């Protein structure tokens, strides 16, 4: 079997949700404008590093969704997201803090790591390049909220960055957060992942895969109100047997989709 960070984190959040998503095929519908816009924005970033026109690319990608009946957040619209995206692309080019040599090889880098039992763990790194001349893995995020910067080095505990570091063996990692707010902002956040963290993550993956192989899928919605993870779970309708919720949020497809490998930030 092939695993990704998204799958492992889904199992750790709630094994029952993992089973519904990856074994039974219940996928969340693409109804969140911010999520789809994030993918369009990443295409535009790719164009920038290939010396193409990023704004034209963003328009082209986002234009395909102009008539899609998305659930926009309050105050958002198709036009506003485009405007914010263009602003962020201009700011990013002006900042000029990221360098990617040979973008064909170093954008969307596929990393495959062998697991015990003949399984594989696949990661797609957004980019490998430099931030302020320091070589590192680069992870793009589009979001409406700033990333927390306190306490100091909180980023070093980010499990997704840890998984990228473990998969690639590269200790330096960074998030470039494109914050879509009234005055768009870009955060450049870099940290180091230690060898100990990488080994610990590897053990976590092995344990999780063993539990999946053993068919252990208990529900694990969260702790208690207000931290109940069920409230933000796409599979809530299935657990509550609420047909309207299922119809609105989910679609059933056999097998995994390509998007399993795209680790998008959920606003
Ligand atoms: S609704 Fe709760 S129990 Fe059901 S799959 Fe989601 S997180 Fe798990």
89-131 pLDDT tens trace? 999 999 999 999 999 999 999 999 999 999 999 999 999 999 9
193 lines ligand 1 (CB under 6 A): no
* Number of the ligand 1 atom closest to the C-alpha atom of 14: 8
| First-to-final CA distance of the chain | 29
219 lines ligand 1 (CB under 6 A): yes
Per-residue pLDDT band for 232 (boundaries 50, 70, 90) equals: confident
- 33-55 pLDDT tens trace: 999 999 999 999 999 999 999 99
Q: What is the pLDDT of residue 150?
A: 86
Residue 257 has pLDDT above 70, yes or no: no
Beta partners for 99?
Answer: 130
233 lines ligand 1 (CB under 6 A): yes
Per-residue pLDDT band for 182 (boundaries 50, 70, 90) equals: confident
Residue 265 has pLDDT above 50, yes or no: no
Best residue among 10, 13, 15, 17 to mutate for probing ligand 1, ranked by most atoms within 8 Å of CB: 17
Q: What is the pLDDT of residue 220?
A: 83
Q: What share of the chain in percent tops pLDDT 90?
A: 78
- 130-140 pLDDT tens trace: 999 999 999 99
3-state SS, residue 74: coil
235 lines ligand 1 (CB under 6 A): yes
Q: What is the pLDDT of residue 161?
A: 97
Provide the sign of the torsion angle of the four alpha carbons 80, 83, 84, 85, taken in this order.
Answer: positive
Q: What is the pLDDT of residue 225?
A: 66
Mean pLDDT (whole number) for 150-176: 95
Residue 254 has pLDDT above 90, yes or no: no
Residue 164 has pLDDT above 90, yes or no: yes
Residue 79 near residue 216, CB atoms below 8 Å? no
Q: What is the pLDDT of residue 151?
A: 87
Residue 234 has pLDDT above 50, yes or no: yes
Across the chain, what does the average pLDDT equal? 91
12 lines ligand 1 (CB under 6 A): no
Q: Locate tokens 């999946």: which residue?
A: 212
Distance CA 239, CA 62 (A): 34
Nearest protein Cα to ligand 1, atom 1: 236
Ligand 1 centre to CA of 239 (Å) is 6
Q: What are phi and psi for residue 181, nearest 5 degrees?
A: -135, -175
- 183-229 pLDDT tens trace: 899 999 999 999 999 999 999 999 999 999 999 999 987 766 667 77
Residue 1 has pLDDT above 80, yes or no: yes
- Tell me, what DSSP letter sits at residue 32? B
């Amino acid at each position: 079997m092939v695993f990704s960070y998204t799958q492992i984190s889904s199992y750790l959040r709630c094994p029952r949700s993992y089973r519904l998503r990856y074994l039974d095929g219940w996928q969340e519908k693409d109804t969140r404008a911010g999520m789809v816009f994030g993918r369009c924005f990443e295409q535009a970033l790719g164009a920038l590093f290939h010396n193409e026109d990023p704004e034209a690319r963003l328009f082209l990608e986002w234009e395909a969704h102009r008539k899609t009946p998305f659930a926009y957040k309050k105050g958002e619209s198709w036009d506003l997201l485009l405007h914010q995206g263009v602003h962020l692309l201009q700011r990013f080019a002006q900042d000029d803090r990221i360098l990617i040599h040979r973008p064909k090889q170093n954008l969307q880098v596929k990393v495959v790591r062998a697991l015990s039992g003949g399984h594989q763990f696949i990661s797609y790194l957004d980019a490998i390049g430099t931030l302020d001349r320091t070589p590192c893995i680069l992870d793009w995020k589009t979001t409406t909220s700033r990333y927390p910067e306190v306490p100091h080095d909180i980023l070093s505990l980010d499990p997704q960055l840890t998984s990228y570091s473990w998969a690639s063996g590269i200790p330096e990692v960074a998030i470039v957060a494109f914050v879509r707010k009234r005055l768009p902002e870009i955060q450049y956040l870099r940290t180091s992942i230690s060898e100990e963290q990488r080994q610990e993550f590897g053990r976590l993956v092995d344990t999780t895969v063993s539990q999946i192989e053993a068919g252990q899928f208990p529900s694990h919605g969260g702790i208690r109100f207000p931290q109940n993870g069920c409230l933000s779970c796409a599979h809530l309708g299935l657990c509550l047997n609420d047909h309207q919720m299922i119809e609105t949020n989910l679609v059933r497809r056999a097998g995994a989709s390509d998007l399993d490998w795209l680790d998008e930030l959920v606003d």
